[in-house]
């Protein structure tokens, strides 16, 4: 049964937060993967078995494919050089989330829409704070206006109060 969640780059700054939060909700189903097995194992050892480590290099496409056997969802928390891993996930009906911000890579993954639909998978792209949150806020502003040519903003960290100020102070070009 495919029910595991693979977090690639899961021992990095962002991936660690994603993996440990998921592990509290899905204990024993989260796999932290990356090129450095020692770092993956070190994180896994702190979770009382809720996370499993895996050595995985996205440049090794055959190795990645074999790692997907029991995976339902793959979350990529690092920058990639190509789209082979995303394609492999979607071809196997594995849902795919990408937290990176590399436009040229995300743009290529967007072309896999038909492939994803054909295999019953979905891809959610650009999920991180910047551009993820900023994209949502820009969309919100765009929906409020009759016409919009350009929205310029700055990503702020912090609580929801910061988001409210961001919405009030975002610069909008209404040319």
Question: Taking 70 as the threshold, does the pLDDT of residue 135 lie above it?
Answer: no
Q: List the domain boundaries for the chain.
A: 4-124, 129-173
Parallel/antiparallel/unpaired status of strands 95-98 and 71-76: parallel
pLDDT one-digit tens code per residue, 7-59: 999 999 889 999 999 999 999 999 999 999 999 999 999 999 999 999 999 98
Q: What is the pLDDT of residues 54-92, one digit of tens each?
A: 999 998 988 889 899 999 999 999 989 999 999 999 999
Token code pair at residue 156: 């702020």
- Please provide the CATH number assigned to the domain covering 4-124: 3.40.50.720
Query: Three-class SS of residue 67?
Result: helix
Residue 111: band (very low, low, confident or very high) from pLDDT cuts 50, 70, 90: very high
Separation in Å, CA 105 to CA 85, 98, 109, 174: 11, 10, 6, 30
For the chain, give the percent of residues with pLDDT over 90. Answer: 54
Contact by Cβ (8 Å): 173, 150: yes
pLDDT band at 142 (very low <50, low <70, confident <90, very high): confident
Which residues are within 8 A (CB) of 118 and not within 5 positions of it... i.e. 6 or more apart?
A: none
Neighbours of 5 (CB within 10 A): 23
Q: Do the Cβ atoms of 150 and 170 come closer than 8 Å?
A: no
């Amino acid at each position: 049964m495919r029910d595991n969640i693979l977090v690639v780059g899961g021992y990095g700054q962002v991936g660690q937060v994603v993996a440990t939060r998921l592990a509290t909700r899905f204990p024993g189903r989260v796999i932290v993967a990356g090129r450095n097995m020692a770092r993956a194992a070190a994180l896994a050892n702190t979770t009382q078995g809720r996370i499993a480590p895996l050595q995985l290099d996205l440049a090794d496409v055959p190795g990645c494919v074999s790692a997907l056997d029991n995976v339902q969802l793959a979350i990529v928390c690092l920058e990639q050089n190509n789209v082979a891993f995303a394609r492999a996930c979607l071809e196997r009906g594995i849902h795919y989330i990408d937290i990176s911000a590399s436009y040229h890579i995300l743009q290529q993954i967007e072309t896999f829409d038909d492939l994803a639909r054909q295999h019953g998978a979905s891809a959610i792209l650009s999920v991180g704070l910047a551009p993820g949150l900023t994209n949502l806020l820009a969309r919100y502003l765009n929906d409020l206006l009759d016409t919009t040519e350009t929205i310029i903003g700055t990503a702020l960290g912090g609580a929801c109060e910061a988001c409210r100020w961001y919405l009030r102070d975002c610069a909008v070009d209404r040319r």
